[in-house]
Each structure stands twice: as C-alpha cells, then as structure tokens.
Amino acid sequence: MKKFVVLCTIVGLLLAACSRGPYTATNKFYKKQAKSYSKILATYPLNDSGTTFVGTVNFTMRAPNFVIIHHTAQGSCEQTLKTFTTPVSKVSSHYVICKSGEVYQMLNDMLRAHHAGVSRWGTTTDINSCSIGIEIDNNGREPFTEAQINSLLQLLDRLKKKYNIPTTNFLGHADVAPGRKVDPNRYFPWQKLAEHGFGYWYDTTNVEVKEGFDALMALRTIGYNIANPRSAIQSYKIHFNPQDTTTVLTETDAKIITSLLERYK
Ligand SMILES: [Zn+2]
C-alpha cells in the first residue's frame, strides 16, 4: 500500500511538471523581474537625486532605435530558447526566429536584452541599450530558410513603423562588433532586406571612385569601428561583398563603398 502511494505521488508530480510546460518557471521569473522594474518606474516622488521633484506631463518610454540581426550558431531553436532561459548563459535576445518561420518573443521591446555585448556603430557604444536583438536559428554555415526571411521581414516592418527606426540602423552583429562576431553569416540576404527598406544596398552603375579615395576612412564614416582595420574590412565584406573572404580592399570594394557612403552618411 505504502509503495502504491509513493508511486502515485511520483506519477502525480511528473504529470504536474509536464502540464506546467518547460518554461513555466522562467515565465514566472520574467513576470517578477518586469514587476520590479515597473515599481522603479512608478516611484513617486523621485528621491534618489537630492533635488526637488516636480513631475512633468510630457514624457514617454525610451524606444529602441537600432535592430541587430544575429545567427544563433546553435543546433536548434529549442537549444537557443534553453540557452536564453538559463541564467548562467547571461545572454538573450528579444526575438528568435526558427527554421519553420515561427517567431518567439522573449522580452518586451522596451527592455534591454543581452545580445550585442561590446559593440560600436559610429559614436554609439552601448548598443544593447538602444536596440532590438533578433536571433535567427542557423548553425552559422548554412543558408537561412525562406520562411525565416519572410517572418523576419514582417517583424522588421512592424518594428520600423512602431519605433520609427532609421533605414541605416538595421545592422548585423558583425557590423557592430568587428573581429569579435561574424553573424549573420555570408548567406544572409542583406540586399533583399535593403529592397524592403531595412538597411541600404549599393549600386555601382556609373560610380566613379574619386582620386585618393580612402575606403577605410569611408567605412568609418559609414559607422564601422576601424580600430582594427582588418576586422572592420572583414565585417564589411560579410555584409556587402560576401563572396570575397579576404580582408583586402579592392577596386570593386572602393566602388561599393563609394556608393554606400552616399546612402549611409
Ligand atoms: Zn550575434
């Protein structure tokens, strides 16, 4: 009888665990964390600056101004969801797009995800604080699925309209972290994105490269961190000239960069 009771208890616990789903605990954590931030936002009067408080009537939430695209470099969407719900990984992104085109949202757009790490674009340094991170399920060596790109385009369209994100500010992780990151990989269809208004593409028809044109300095004007020139060139090539795996700027690159400069500066 005792054994039967123990068995029933174990089965009961297992059933309860199964019915709660794998993310019940992390969803609960998210809710608690979000609630603690909302308490900070609602604090009245503000008393942490030693000043006199007079509440203004004109304010809104700070909204994201960049979108950073990544590939997960993991084996499956499930694996990525697990990584982003495990505290020790310390990483996350706002959205994860699976090979099927299914999109997971992991936190509010207004909150700061940990996806870009040490990064820079132009004079903007804390990219995590002003961007939306989108991770696309991809092992890093394969093309992206049509379903993924379709879902991505729909998501970008919504984000661009909702937050009025400039066309120039749709970038890859490699763009903002040269030498440290190479995602999204060289199969990523940046030209197609540009055709839909997310980032720019070049047109070298009738482009004349000016005498003494400094392509590396032009990359800096566009936004690349050129502290390490070879790394900056690698990041630029991954995005705009993916067939070329060298880190040398050629005549073709000078034409591409001249064209890009017009659009990005
Ligand atoms: Zn990344």
Based on the domain organization, do 225 and 140 belong to the same domain? no
Rounded percentage of the chain residues whose pLDDT exceeds 90: 86
What is the arithmetic mean of pLDDT over 55-62?
Answer: 94
Look at residue 149 and tell me if it is in a domain: yes
The answer to whether 156 and 67 have CB atoms below 8 angstroms apart is yes
The residue ranges of DSSP E strands in 157-210, in sequence order, are: 170-172
Note whether residue 93 is domain-resident: yes
Name the catalytic one among 102, 135, 146, 262: 135
Same-domain status, 73 and 164:
yes
Distance of CA 202 from the midpoint of ligand 1 (Å) = 24
Ligand 1 geometric centre to CA of 173 (Å):
5
Same domain, 192 and 213: no
**Would residue 245 count as lying in a domain?**
yes
Tokens of 34: 């979000």
Let me know: does 136 contact 72? Beta carbons within 8 Å.
yes
Please check whether residues 180 and 230 belong to one and the same domain: no
**5 pLDDT exceeds 70?**
no
Distance 12 CA to ligand 1 centre (A): 41
Question: At 3, is the pLDDT very low, low, confident or very high (cuts 50, 70, 90)?
Answer: low
Confirm whether 46 is domain-assigned: no
pLDDT > 70 fraction of the chain, expressed in percent and rounded: 93
Does the residue 188 lie in any domain? yes
Number of domains forming the structure of the chain: 3
Q: Judge if 108 and 187 occupy the same domain.
A: yes
Q: Measure 58 CA to ligand 1 centroid, in angstroms.
A: 36
Q: Are residues 27 and 141 both part of a single domain? A: no
Q: What is the largest CA-CA distance in the chain?
A: 92
Question: Is the dihedral angle over the CA atoms 111, 114, 115, 119 positive or is it negative?
Answer: positive
> Do 83 and 117 belong together in one domain?
yes
Same domain, 88 and 118: yes
Specify whether the CB–CB gap between 85 and 143 falls below 8 A: no
Residue-wise pLDDT for 95-127, tens only, equals 999 999 999 999 999 999 999 999 999 999 999
> How large is the average pLDDT for residues 207-221?
97
Q: How far is the CA of 62 from the centre of ligand 1 (A)?
A: 23
Is 135 in the active site? yes
Residue 134 has pLDDT above 50, yes or no: yes
- The one-letter amino acid code at 82 reads K
User: In which domain, by residue range, is 141 found?
Assistant: 61-199
What's the whole-number mean pLDDT along residues 126-152?
98
Per residue in 173-188, pLDDT tens? 999 999 999 999 999 9
Q: Identify whether 157 is part of a domain.
A: yes
Residue 51 is predicted with a pLDDT of 86
- Residue 252 covered by a domain: yes
Please report, for the chain, how many H helices and E strands are present, in that order: 10, 5
Confidence class for position 19, pLDDT limits 50, 70, 90: low
Q: 259 by DSSP, 3-state: which?
A: helix
User: What gap in Å lies between CA 231 and CA 180, rounded to an integer?
Assistant: 8
